[in-house]
Chain A
Amino acid sequence: MSIGPESSYSSYSSYSSYSSYSSYSSYGVPNGLNPMLTEALITNRDGIVGTHIDHIADVAPGVPDSPHNLPRLALQVRAAIFQAELGSSVDITVDSDAGLPVATLWRRTSERDGRARKVSFHEMVEMTGPTTDQLATQLKHVAGYARIRPDRAAEITTQVGVPTAFFASIGFMDPARTPHTIELIYTALNFSSLLIQRTKYALAVKRPIEFSPQVQPMIETPTHGSLPSGHATEAFLIGRLLWKLLIESKAPQYNDRAYWGAMLMRQASRIATNRTVAGVHFPIDSVAGAMLGLTLADHLHAMCRGGTWTSAMFDAPKFDPEEDFDWHKLYNAEGDDMRRKAQSDRGTWAKTRQHKERGDDTPAPALSWLWTKALAEWRDLGDDCDN
């Protein structure tokens, strides 16, 4: 679990409490590569094994392809299963339009008929790269934001890795309390990191540092492309997933209280903007990233629970480069709703559409299990606390 955008996911394991799961091994129970323990287990067996037992009692077979197995699997094993489900749910193609690269993220569904498959692809995100002139104009924002670097330094440096703590300061997350929510978030991040990197690679948008020697970012500029911003994608993905959990929890303090959703979005926006403050992103990178993250949140939710999903188009050349990033143009926390259209004088730069669930569009049982477990962590403990 150490891959990811912005070279940050190494801090996956640095989310200290989370990684304390690995302290299992300090009990020496499973899988400890401890030579002394191995030696001890050998001599121990020799000491007590006794005469071979001939009559083994009935052993029930394993339950194939069933989420019932999941609680007994190691986190890394579950993570692999989730990625197997998610990874095959998308595909990316790249072409160009008027000399600008266009990355298309496809949503893949399949009808199953025995061993036969009928696979369909639907456009989920279409993203056209910005022009160099737009980026040169956007550089003015980067220069302006540099002025508030001292004010944001602590946030920026602690958000280089996964900013779980910043969301945990809004939604009450803790490894003891919400282990599956954290697992869900990291599942989403693991999935999105591949798409982010592939999209950045496709669009090959240069970083601010390549435009001017005066940017002088306050942190290292990652080597991958600038648009979409990985931090914006991840932050809006996390924020929206959490908001969906809160809504579905039906807990009175969360249910339909849009200020929870709005606060999560404010947090996501702050994290995204901090990357511009740091000098490693243009605001337009955050626009693209927020759009991708919000869309992926819907996709993930549909993969877990079924229901609607959203397709989105981001046409960067139509974005007014004088404009800053403003998430309200993309999303409304009330109703958990992506806005249908965003325009500038140059035309429509963002469009979204909601799609209903189709027959071949069934959720993945393993992911459903994860969502159900995560959701239970947000429900109030009342009469139905067995749920």
Chain B
Amino acid sequence: MEKWLPNPDPDAIHVVDHVTFFRLSRADHHYADDPDAVWWSVLVEVEGISIDQFQDRVAAFADDLLIPAAYDAADRRAVHGRQPIAIYARAPLIRHINDRRSEVGVATVLLGASAPDRFLDRDAQPRELPEVIVDDDAVLQAIIDDGIGIAHELFRSSATATRIHHARIFEAEPLADGKTSVGRGLDRADIDGLLQNCAFDDMLDEDLFYARSGQVDFGKGVFSTVALRRSHGTHIMALAAGEPMSDAAQKHPIICAALPSRIVNDTTGLEMVPVLYLAFHILVKQARRFRTRAGAPVPVVFNFSYGNTGGPHDGTGIFARLFDHYFGKDAETEQKAWLTLPAGNANLERLHAVSDERTEVDGTTTLDLTVLPDDRTPTHLQIWLPVSPEDEQPNIATISVRTPFGMDEGTIVTQPGQHAALVNKAGEQIAWLAYQYIGGQTQRGLVTLSSNPTANLLETSDLGPAGQWTVTIRRNAGASKEPIHLWVRRDETLPGQTSGGRQAFFDNLHYKRFDRYGAPLPVDPRDTTCPVQRAGTLSGFACDPAPIVVAACTEQEAVLSDYSAAGPLAPSPQGPQPPRDGPDLAARGDDSFVRRGVISAGSRSGSWVRLAGTSVASPQVARLAASAIGDAAGSGREWSRDAVARDPFPLKDHPSKTRTGAGAVRTPNRMTPD
């Protein structure tokens, strides 16, 4: 029988990020290699120092650090108040910077995915990026996704000429040319060369193209979903930027980054933000190369069709700061940039719960958390506390966790240094409950619960228990009455991936899933007291004030799609009003209840497939935005409201503003076969 140990580690108070701590402290068999030899993507926020200064401060760990070549000399010299940097590092260095006593100048640490050595080139150097001159009315489209079929005809202007000016393929091994620290960078000429070399008898051999582009190498275990009939990135990029082949199509240049599909194969947790930051940084650098003939910067529309659960949901999360860092008022750029993001699909997934006056009974909220058996990835839970200043962190609540067959509870109070470890009979640690404070703009306490996988083919002694866990939040008398939000982090394995993650979820008995006809309820019942809620499920990436956030609707029935995630958000420390109510607008995510999803490009030229979700709604809005950004005077969000007003698609179910924002917009149905 396992048991909880209260505060077993006196050094825990010095830990910057407890999830990072947990993920790096598992037993050896949880890692594919010697744990200290594994490279990880890491997002660190340095405070008041430059990248160069950071590098100097950790010089003792030089062999464990890789600062990507995408950061050029100017980037490395720049000093900001807080500056996020995506690096690659090995465990000894990460442990060092995740310990406050090291005093490196790092405010936050976010551990991303592990990256096999062969995908990294530690000798790569920054390179000059020459200007790209395009027509005065050109608009650049930038896509970050995974599995992007860059050879697809919809991204070409002719049989052997691409419209993609740069593709960063994180899925591929770097070339030996020393240009990229991670993945492979293909410029337009590189892609054109591949197209020419892989064309036989007037036909492109796309299997061969992706073998030579490095995206797919079955012999080396390099995999991209472009090997499958359906690939997310191809579908999304065609919706956003696909055009029939013609010379005119050159007016629509594209840059893209394909994130590694192996990212979701990580068996210590699922965190893509570090590599996303790097991808974004690379594409921003590329975007800034573009000039019109008149010498002006070229407007750019980014689309990133991913969502996540977790984060503070008040517009201060680390992803929220990404766009602001590059295009906010302090970014010193005249380039006009909009970003479209999906609202997320978590509306019905029971990954979000709220402890507040409505859901608490005698100041206590109890949550049933179902952790599935045969889950080969850990389960992570976040509990976000109300805003409080760092120097006066109040003890807001007592948080207890009981395992399915546990005799005792692990209990902590929300105070610095508080933690509890779950150990099994053999004394092996299998779960970790801890409090930490997230400073910066967020200024909230955060409690994280992390549990080992419930299955492992190699070793079974330190498995996390599967079944119904219980999480109890007892609000302390006199503490803030502001809501406490709980999020189960995503660990479901996506189609085509192999990690074997199974999604844990809240399973409170009085959560009403269906209406009286048996249909899924898309909104919480009025006056519900269930802590598990659909309201507030908006993707953690989509809470920033800047992006255009897109919900999904079902066209034929003219209703908002059930899965489409919703606001409201939590107020931020900067003001009583949240940065947004929910999505800005909705667009087609499904053709009908029966014809789920929308049709767009399959992985191979000439093929068409369906994908559903807010992921496919977002790029359709990106396409509209690309046609408008050149002339628009205001922000992207302002434009999105005007777009709905100009061409509304009325929804019969009259969803609330927190689900649709300004309403649904008609999107051109151009990327479907005749």
Contact = CB atoms under 8 A, between A and B. Distances in A.
Contact of A140 (B205, B220, B223, B496): B220
B229 interface: yes
Q: Which of A143, A147, A323, A333 has the most CB of B within 10 A?
A: A147
Interface string A321-337: 01110101000111000
Interface in A129-158: 137-138, 140-141, 143-145, 147-148, 150-151
23 contacts: A140-B218, A140-B219, A141-B218, A144-B218, A144-B220, A144-B222, A144-B223, A147-B223, A151-B227, A151-B229, A151-B496, A258-B202, A259-B201, A259-B202, A259-B203, A262-B203, A266-B203, A322-B219, A324-B218, A326-B208, A332-B200, A333-B200, A334-B201
Interface of B: 200-203, 205, 208, 211, 217-223, 227-229, 495-496, 498
B228 A151 contact: yes
Nearest to A258: B201
A263 interface: yes
A328 B228 CA distance: 22
Contacts of B498: 147
A145 B218 CA distance: 6
B219 A141 contact: yes
A333 B201 contact: yes
A288 to B, nearest CB: 17
B571 to A, nearest CB: 45
Q: Which of B201, B205, B223 has the most CB of A within 10 A?
A: B201
Interface in A316-351: 322-324, 326, 328, 332-334
A263 B203 contact: yes
A259 B205 CA distance: 12
A263 B229 CA distance: 18
A271 to B, nearest CB: 13
Contacts of A326: 208
Contacts of A324: 211, 218-219
A265 to B, nearest CB: 9
Interface residues of A, number: 25
A312 B95 CA distance: 61
Nearest to B202: A259
A161 interface: no
A285 to B, nearest CB: 15
B202 A144 contact: no
Interface of A: 137-138, 140-141, 143-145, 147-148, 150-151, 258-259, 261-263, 266, 322-324, 326, 328, 332-334
B218 A261 contact: no
A-B interface, 10 closest residue pairs, ranked by CB to CB distance from nearest: A144-B218, A262-B201, A258-B201, A141-B219, A151-B228, A140-B219, A145-B218, A141-B218, A333-B201, A262-B203
Q: Which of A143, A144, A259, A266 has the most CB of B within 10 A?
A: A144
A151 B202 CA distance: 27
Contacts of A259: 201-203
Contact of B208 (A141, A262, A328, A332): A328
Contacts of B221: 140, 143-144
Contacts of A266: 203, 205
B85 to A, nearest CB: 33
A111 to B, nearest CB: 40
B435 to A, nearest CB: 41
A144 B219 contact: yes
A222 B200 CA distance: 34
A147 B496 contact: yes
B605 to A, nearest CB: 12
A63 to B, nearest CB: 44
A306 to B, nearest CB: 27
Contacts of B219: 137-138, 140-141, 144, 322-324
Contacts of A140: 218-221
A247 to B, nearest CB: 13
A138 B222 CA distance: 15
B55 to A, nearest CB: 37
Contacts of B228: 148, 151
Contacts of B200: 262, 328, 332-333
Contacts of A151: 227-229, 496
A165 B546 CA distance: 54
A283 B203 CA distance: 23
A328 B205 contact: yes
A147 B226 CA distance: 12
Contacts of A262: 200-203
A150 B497 CA distance: 11
B227 A147 contact: yes
B426 to A, nearest CB: 29
A323 B223 CA distance: 16
Given A322-B219, A328-B208, A148 B227 contact: yes
A91 B270 CA distance: 60
B496 A261 contact: no
A244 B141 CA distance: 46
Nearest to A276: B218
A44 to B, nearest CB: 61
Contacts of B222: 144
A263 B205 CA distance: 10
A143 B220 CA distance: 10
Contacts of B229: 151
Nearest to A138: B219
A276 B495 CA distance: 21
Given A150-B495, A150-B496, 15 more contacts: A140-B221, A141-B219, A144-B217, A144-B219, A147-B227, A147-B498, A151-B228, A151-B496, A262-B201, A262-B202, A324-B219, A326-B208, A328-B200, A333-B201, A334-B201
A281 B228 CA distance: 20
B271 to A, nearest CB: 23
Nearest to B229: A151
A127 to B, nearest CB: 22
Contacts of A333: 200-201
A260 B202 CA distance: 11
A323 B217 CA distance: 10
A106 B220 CA distance: 38
A202 B223 CA distance: 36
B209 to A, nearest CB: 12
A259 B219 CA distance: 29
A140 B221 CA distance: 8
A53 B211 CA distance: 79
Contacts of B496: 147, 150-151
A259 B201 CA distance: 6
B227 to A, nearest CB: 5
Q: Which of A266, A323, A332 has the most CB of B within 10 A?
A: A266
Nearest to B261: A147
B132 to A, nearest CB: 33
Contacts of A332: 200
A112 to B, nearest CB: 41
A141 B202 CA distance: 28
Nearest to A273: B207
A333 B202 CA distance: 11
Nearest to A331: B200
Q: Which of A143, A148, A150 has the most CB of B within 10 A?
A: A148
A155 to B, nearest CB: 10
Nearest to A333: B201
B181 to A, nearest CB: 25
